[in-house]
Amino acid sequence: MATATEAPASNTAEGPTSHTQNQANTRLPNTFGYTRAEQIDALHKLREPFLPTEIRYLPRVWCRACKDSRGKGCQHHTYAPCDKCKQRMPRNGHIDLRFVGHAEATNRLLNVDPFWDWEPLTVDERGLPQVDGYRGLWIRLTVCGMSRLGYGHAGDKTGGDAVKEVIGDAIRNAGMRFGMALDLWTSSDLEIIESGGGAPDSDQVAAAPAPQSASTSSEEQNTQHVQRLVDQAKNCWANAIALTQVLGDAEKHNVADEEVNGPNGWQTLRALLNDRITVLNQEATTPASERSAA
């Protein structure tokens, strides 16, 4: 079924194009011995959905009247035990945000790379992690030879509990940059803000999915997923490795054969990405002198 999705234009091939499929099977420097193929496989494993038993719920009251009622509720909402978060909350006056805890995040990292590690970006005179002016901590998380930054904050907590919370929050935040628990983040943050609830105060929280109508068809859901993948492809149109990840995501969710309107007209998302990856790999293996002459 053709979708109304517009694919990236063909004239946006700016940026790094040094990675090739041939390089994926060779050992690269500064990757702790991991090949590109192994790194891509690790990224896919990090992005696998967490089991329902690994997901927790954090309540956030969005009704201002309930917030000011000191636990009594307002004329529209009464307090009662919530089946999800297991806390006494205003019925229909709060939202439960899904998140994964520090233990679950650590378990996922260990399953993907038993030698994963993190380090603070700055240390104090004693060699301990140094927080910034907001009492937050910047870290570098390394998984399978890949490093990405993350930021942690403990909110209003103080003392030793705050230190542990900052570290755990930073690891989850950096893990999200690898795609870990990324499926838990949705536009619900905006819905909470618009309803008067404000934004979540910690990156350890991944927003609950936006409510969907029961009449939403699988075709509409596929269209939305294809659009998300096309948007990702636009942002990494010059990176063959990243496009390979997008293609893997499309195949995993059975939308690779959906049609999109690309530079060469309507074609499947799989064909579009494969064509672009081939072009980038050819450019990367062509000497600079030959490219300039062409």
Q: Tell me the pLDDT of the chain (294 aa) as tens digits.
A: 455 556 665 544 444 444 444 444 444 456 778 898 999 999 999 999 899 889 888 888 888 888 888 888 888 888 999 988 889 998 888 888 888 888 999 999 999 999 999 999 999 999 999 999 889 999 999 999 999 999 999 988 888 889 999 999 999 999 999 999 887 765 344 344 334 443 333 333 333 344 444 444 566 777 777 888 888 888 778 887 778 878 888 888 888 888 888 887 888 988 898 888 888 888 877 765 665 555
* Cβ-contact 7, 263 below 8 angstroms: yes
Burial 196-232 (b: 16+ CB within 10 A, else e): ebeebebbbbbbbeeeeeeeeeeeeebbebbbebbeb
* Cβ-contact 259, 230 below 8 angstroms: no
Report the domain count for the chain: 2
- Domain-embedded: residue 224: yes
Neighbouring C-beta atoms of residue 270, cutoff 10 Å: 15
Structural domain that includes position 86: 49-211
- Domain-embedded: residue 36: no
Q: Cβ contacts of residue 141 below 8 Å, gap of 6+?
A: 116, 117, 118, 147, 148, 149, 150, 171, 174, 175, 177, 178
The pLDDT score that the predictor gives to residue 187 is 37
Let me know whether 22 and 104 are in one domain.
no
Let me know whether 25 and 90 are in one domain.
no
| Domain final residue pick, 170, 196, 211 | 211
Which residues, listed in sequence order, are joined to residue 100 by a DSSP beta bridge? Answer: 55
Give the global pTM. Answer: 0.54
CA-to-CA distance for 19 and 25, rounded, in angstroms?
11
- Domain-embedded: residue 254: yes
DSSP 3-state of 60? strand
Let me know whether 58 and 191 are in one domain.
yes
CA-to-CA distance for 278 and 180, rounded, in angstroms?
28
The pLDDT score that the predictor gives to residue 6 is 61
CA-to-CA distance for 72 and 210, rounded, in angstroms?
27
CA-to-CA distance for 146 and 139, rounded, in angstroms?
13
Place of tokens 């590690």: 117
Let me know whether 221 and 130 are in one domain.
no
* Cβ-contact 95, 58 below 8 angstroms: no
| Domain final residue pick, 177, 211, 245 | 211
CA-to-CA distance for 42 and 52, rounded, in angstroms?
21
* Cβ-contact 258, 222 below 8 angstroms: yes
Let me know whether 25 and 156 are in one domain.
no
DSSP 3-state of 227? helix
Let me know whether 140 and 274 are in one domain.
no
Let me know whether 200 and 64 are in one domain.
yes
Let me know whether 19 and 67 are in one domain.
no
Which residue from 252, 288, 289 is spatially nearest to 270, judged by alpha carbons?
Answer: 252
- Domain-embedded: residue 44: no
Which residues, listed in sequence order, are joined to residue 124 by a DSSP beta bridge? Answer: none
Let me know whether 89 and 207 are in one domain.
yes
Structure tokens at 294: 């062409």
**Helical residues (DSSP H) of 14-141, grouped into ranges:** 36-46, 64-67, 102-112
- Apex CA 9: angle with CA 7 and CA 14, to 5°? 120
Q: Which helix (H) or strand (E) holds 69?
A: none
Let me know whether 197 and 280 are in one domain.
no
Which residues, listed in sequence order, are joined to residue 146 by a DSSP beta bridge? Answer: 143
- Domain-embedded: residue 111: yes
